[in-house]
Amino acid sequence: MDANGNWEEDDDEEFEFSRNYFLAKELASSSAKKSKHKLTDIDVVDEQELRDAASKIEPNHEYEITLLLDSYKTMYPEWIFALRCGFGLLMYGFGSKKVLIEDFASTELTEYSVVVINGYLQTINLKQVVIALAEVLWDQMKAKQRVSHRDLPKSQQPSNSQSMDDLLTFLDQAEIEDGDFFVCVVIHNIDGPGLRDSETQRYLARLAACARIRVVASIDHVNAPLFWDKNMAHTQFNWCWYHVPTFAPYKVEGMFYPMILAHGSASQTVKTATIVLLSLTRNAQSVFKILAEHQLSHPDEGMPISDLYSVCRERFLVSSQITLNSHLTEFKDHELVKIKKHSDGQDCLHIPLTAEALQKVVLEIN
Amino acid sequence: MAPSRSVADSTPPSTTSEVVENDFQPFFVLHKASSRRKDRKPTAQGKLWKRNELSSSFPQGAKKLGGRMTEECDHHLFQQLQIEAFDIVWAKIESTIKDVLRDLNAIVFNDIQKWVLECFNATKLLGEPTIAEATRSFPTLNNTTPGQMFTAFVSTRNIEFVDDILTFEELGHFLKSHGCHVAKLSSLEFSSKNGIAGCLKALLQEFLGCAIDSADISILASWYREQVNYNKPLLLIVNDLERCCGSVLTDFILMLSEWVVKVPIIFIFGVATTVDASRNILPSHALERLCPSRFMLGTPVERMDAIVEAVLLKHCTTFSIGYKVAVFLRNYFINQDGTVTSFIRALKVACLLHFSMEPLSVIHGQTLAEDQKEGKSALSPETLLKYIDELPLCARNQTVDHPTQKSMSEGLSELVTVQKLWSTAVLCLYEAGKYSRVRLLDLFCEALSQDLYLSRVSDCHVGDEKDRDLSSTNDPRQQYSIMKSGGIIGKIVCKVRDIPTGMLYQLIESWEKLTADVSEIHEKLKILQSSVRCEDGKSSRKSSKDNSKRYPVNIDKDARMLNLQAIAFLDYLLRNFLKPVEGMPFHEIFCFKNVEKLQLVLIGDPRRRIQVDLLEFHKILRCSCCSKSGNALLPSRHDSSIMYSLAQEHGDLINLHDWFQSFRTIVIQHKNKRKQNSKQSPSSKKRKDINGSADQNEASIQARFCRAVTELQITGLVRMPSKRRPDFAQRVAFGL
């Protein structure tokens, strides 16, 4: 019977998996004995030269990749149909899917507002995203109101002071006559560093469950489905899975990963630091600028935290030590600053960048 | 505070710099909805107007815009029809499912409601505090009551909690409709992070309906003593007891037990495993505060069978599935640990794909809409022809000409008739199968099998040579063919042969109810019933004689004859009506059978697929330089694909030096050939150029290696070196 055949197939897969695992263990024991080469034995070129070469890598199979992306366009009607029927789309397969999804959104979702979340960044403030979504929906409701001549209750207008629950309730229960009206949220990638904590995933699931929200997301990690329980995957996100390998390079997505051959992987480059800073608030950028200016003026010294606090207070960038500490914690988490002990025992802040690199960063964030 | 730069309201990107800027924003608005939506109205009147405009301006439109615009409008209109068809069909299915589940839970819900009233009345008998006592900010202790709270443990018998969410939502609505105050909390509130204060805030918000900043139980006590809130039971539902943090829940119970006089809360806990699970979560001093009662909900299999009966059998002409799809859904239900919600979602995806992939399915949606308006239950040829003509051009291509349309309408009518007969036959078999504990989902799958049907027909072919009348049950060959068919249906028939006479009478009565509206089957059943009455008459006449010696033997023989006649009836059903529609023309209109597509869309398998993508790179891109060589490692192959193939040669630890050297060896294969060719004409300048390009090549190779490792890291197939092993990367995935 077919049912028996299915079970046998599953058993075969299980057997193959366990066999491969033990074979790998055997290889491990043998390779551990044989291979004692060190990473430092490789004659690595200069780090800057390596980065320049990385930015100039010639694309491989560019023509075939373009053909593959074009072939996916035949699936666009199916995708828009699923969205309009209330499902979420989840794209997976090797290769960056950013261009593909944004092309789909730009060509097929022109009748809906689209908000893009770049989940591959290190920091995502999800409440700010939800506020933006609520504002977009509110604007469209106002446009509808002009057409239908209905008054909208002003108390429902989204604002920064509202809680996440209130905002999600608004997105879910907004009264619009058109049943086919929604705001589309595109997430690259939903398993990215900025979205991996469980609380964020729960909020994203609640967001996807809102009646006026549709989600189109991508995953790149093989274990991404482990983020979700059945309520999230089957009910809230309500995924339709689409296998769309592109083999396009992970240019943007891989920006934050250190190069394996580069020495001192903890060091920050100009581009990486700039990207992190641009994702922070303006006040945070200003605080960092003060640190940078001090370091450029006094190359051999770090800036004492107390001095930084005084300057920030003078410039009205922070109102309390707690606020400053939150900024510093953010900097430390992204390895933008390091704390060193001064000769007199005071904690000093140091930016682990060269003077030239630091000048470039300051110019970039202005 | 300065406005955040992270909020970017940008127009569609038109330059590279804008694209780059957007790439590094946490989020941005890609574009806002265009005003074209105003022109598209979902109402029928709008559709008719648009269609008339399209037809009237067709010649002019063809001249100005060409066929492209016409085709685009057609596709747009067709998708709108698809969506409407899906909405209509799924709304019916969803409504049916909700009704079924509500009916299944009705008995237990009523029992719980009665229990709540009894508990509430018992609480009243203990006496009521005065207004002054109720509004005090500390609890009132009564010596006669040690602070016990009435508690219901509802055993859901679900492995996964997702089904419980829906069940307890329904329970909450049910109890609210019967005049209770109901609060629902989940295990997320009873977490160590949330703490007891978070629980109280959530509880107050549930009852009072607004956010409360302070966690003060006296607020609830004052609220409960208000005029409109008094005299109603206070219920707290926690649908997943076993997922709660034990310490937080314990503190919560102990605190509420002190306030039980002022705030007589009644607990309803959902328990997934056994009703004794509370002992594993709560300490004894908390359990002493609870006065437990136990309730049992139906099993997932019972709910599943009820849904299959209602949706796929009794409403089989709304939406139907093929044999392979049915088997897949059954296995999916089992693999998802008996989660009904997962099965329902799979059914919804199947419905989505049906209307997305099958152009003719739109006809069905429209006919259902028409049935809703006029109350018709069958398709009429005129209605069908009307809708075929109204289909957009892209869908009309599926139907060639008018004679085909006419045959389609006749075929559809026959199809619906056969489907209804089939479902009635399955339901009759299911009634008989209840005596042998046959699950309806299993029977449903077997009844859909075209191969099994053909096998049964060929087995009974010999029997057709003789008289088909019920009297032919004496033929041992025919009996044998029924029994030997095996499977679930064979099991049912064997059981019918052995059931007692009393049960057989009940079974026949059930069949009578099921076949009341189906004359083809009901007539045969009448013959069986008349035989039953004849047998009864014979038995009564024989008993009137004073022939005590023969009496037991005669009764046994008569009973056996009755069983055989019942088997003959089942055989009649099997041979004539258990014909799957999958083999009939036009079944695609409401029958979905693309199981491969369903599996792809329903079950994502990124762990396996991503690895296959890397290992079978050439099959996906189909480039000429790699396809011919198959799995051979060529320099032209994708770098990450090369790297992952090389990783297969290592164990769970990959030496980075070896990995790099292997990669380098493969990549420079082609370039070595170039060097050999260039050495044929040596010169000092060329040698310098070669050295320079060699350095650049070395940097490029290293950069490509780094990028490939990063890409494998993004996919999670490789973990970066740790401080303990700085020279090794760790493999994460083994096998596909």
| Per-residue model confidence (pLDDT) at position A266 | 41
Residue A175 lies in a domain: yes
Q: Are residues A170 and A283 in the same domain?
A: no
For residues B289 and B269, give the distance between their C-alpha atoms in angstroms, rounded to a whole number: 14
Number of domains chain A is built from = 2
Q: For A224-260, what is each residue's pLDDT tens digit?
A: 999 898 889 988 999 999 999 999 999 788 877 888 8
Q: Is B710 on the interface with A (CB under 8 A)?
A: yes
Residues 6+ apart with CB under 8 A from B623: A61, A64, B636
Q: Which domain holds residue A335?
A: 261-365
- Residue spans of the domains in chain B: they are 98-298, 303-395+407-460+480-490+580-595, 606-673+695-731
Distance set, CA B701 to CA A169, A312, B231, B428, B719 (Å): 53, 46, 80, 71, 21
Work out the average pLDDT over B584-596.
81
Residues 6+ apart with CB under 8 A from B186: B165, B238, B239, B240
For residues A220 and A97, give the distance between their C-alpha atoms in angstroms, rounded to a whole number: 9
Query: Tokens standing for B156?
Result: 């859901």
Distance set, CA A206 to CA A238, B191, B201, B238 (Å): 11, 19, 20, 20
* First-last CA distance in chain A: 69
Q: Are residues A232 and A273 in the same domain?
A: no
- Looking up residue A239, the CATH number of its domain turns out to be 3.40.50.300
Residue A155 lies in a domain: no
Q: Are residues A83 and A216 in the same domain?
A: yes
Q: In the structure, what pLDDT confidence band is assigned to residue A7 with cuts at 50, 70 and 90?
A: very low
| Per-residue model confidence (pLDDT) at position B669 | 64
Q: In the structure, what pLDDT confidence band is assigned to residue B545 with cuts at 50, 70 and 90?
A: very low
Q: For B223-250, what is each residue's pLDDT tens digit?
A: 887 767 867 898 999 988 887 999 999 9
For residues B339 and B353, give the distance between their C-alpha atoms in angstroms, rounded to a whole number: 22
Q: Which residues pair with A92 in a beta bridge?
A: A243
Q: In the structure, what pLDDT confidence band is assigned to residue A339 with cuts at 50, 70 and 90?
A: confident
Work out the average pLDDT over B500-529.
81
Q: Are residues A220 and A302 in the same domain?
A: no
Closest CA to B237 of B290, B163, B185: B185
pLDDT surpasses 60 at B55: no
Max CA distance (Å), chain A: 81
Does the distance separating the beta carbons of A111 and B34 come in below 8 Å?
yes
Shortest CA gap B94–chain A (Å): 14
Nearest to A85 among B22, B86, B341 (CB): B86
Give Cα B657 distance to the centre of its chain. 49
Instruction: Give the up-direction half-sphere exposure of residue A77: CA atoms within 13 A in the CB hemisphere.
Output: 16
Average pLDDT over chain A reads: 80
Counting residues of chain B whose pLDDT is more than 70, the rounded percentage is 68
Shortest CA gap A307–chain B (Å): 22
Q: E strand or H helix at B609, and its extent?
A: helix B606-615
Q: E strand or H helix at A314, and its extent?
A: helix A305-314
Q: Which residues of A touch B604 (CB under 8 A)?
A: 90, 92, 225, 239, 241, 243
Residue A360 lies in a domain: yes
Mutate to test the interface with B, among A33, A85, A183 (most CBs of B within 10 A): A85
Q: For B641-671, what is each residue's pLDDT tens digit?
A: 999 988 887 787 888 888 998 898 888 765 5
pLDDT surpasses 70 at B195: yes
Q: Collapse the DSSP code of A349 into the 3-class scheme (helix H, G, I; strand E, B; otherwise coil) and give the result.
A: strand
Q: Are residues A207 and A314 in the same domain?
A: no
Q: Are residues A239 and A95 in the same domain?
A: yes
| Per-residue model confidence (pLDDT) at position B240 | 82
Query: Which A-chain residues 227-246 have CB contacts (< 8 A) with chain B?
Result: 229-231, 234-235, 238-243, 245
Residue B113 amino acid letter: Q
Q: How many helices (H) and strands (E) does chain A have?
A: 14, 8
Q: Are residues A185 and A82 in the same domain?
A: yes
Q: What are phi and psi of B223, to 5 degrees?
A: -60, -40
Closest CA to A188 of A226, A219, A146: A219
Considering only alpha carbons, which residue of chain B is nearest residue A271? B24
pLDDT surpasses 50 at B460: yes
Q: Is A115 on the interface with B (CB under 8 A)?
A: yes
Q: Which residue has the tokens 């000048």?
A: A359
DSSP A134-200: HHHHHHHHHHHHHHHT-PPPGGG---TTS-HHHHHHHHHH---S-TT--EEEEEETTTSGGG-SHHH
Burial of A224 (0-12, 13-18, 19+ CB in 10 A): buried
Q: Are residues A207 and A86 in the same domain?
A: yes
Shortest CA gap B574–chain A (Å): 20
Nearest to B638 among A125, A247, A282 (CB): A247
* First-last CA distance in chain B: 52
For residues B694 and B681, give the distance between their C-alpha atoms in angstroms, rounded to a whole number: 18
Q: Is B394 on the interface with A (CB under 8 A)?
A: no
Q: Is A141 on the interface with B (CB under 8 A)?
A: no
| Per-residue model confidence (pLDDT) at position B44 | 37
For residues B241 and A34, give the distance between their C-alpha atoms in angstroms, rounded to a whole number: 54
Q: Which residues pair with B161 in a beta bridge?
A: none
Which CATH fold topology does B98-298 show? Answer: Rossmann fold (3.40.50)
Residue A41 lies in a domain: no
For residues B557 and B537, give the distance between their C-alpha atoms in angstroms, rounded to a whole number: 14
Domain finish residue from A195, A215, A243: A243
Name the residue with higher pLDDT: A176 or A65.
A65
Q: In the structure, what pLDDT confidence band is assigned to residue B123 with cuts at 50, 70 and 90?
A: confident
Domain finish residue from A243, A270, A288: A243
Q: Are residues A223 and A267 in the same domain?
A: no
Closest CA to A276 of B226, B267, B25: B25
Residue A11 lies in a domain: no
Q: Are residues A186 and A310 in the same domain?
A: no
Q: Are strands B728-731 and B653-655 parallel, antiparallel or unpaired?
A: antiparallel
Q: Are residues A237 and A268 in the same domain?
A: no
For residues B46 and B198, give the distance between their C-alpha atoms in angstroms, rounded to a whole number: 51
Q: Is A306 on the interface with B (CB under 8 A)?
A: no
Q: For B335-394, what is each residue's pLDDT tens digit?
A: 888 999 999 989 999 999 988 888 778 776 766 665 655 444 444 555 555 555 555 544
Work out the average pLDDT over B450-474.
56
- Looking up residue A266, the CATH number of its domain turns out to be 1.10.10.10
Q: Are residues A271 and A134 in the same domain?
A: no
Domain finish residue from A243, A277, A294: A243
Residue A351 lies in a domain: yes
For residues B581 and B221, give the distance between their C-alpha atoms in angstroms, rounded to a whole number: 63
Residue A196 lies in a domain: yes
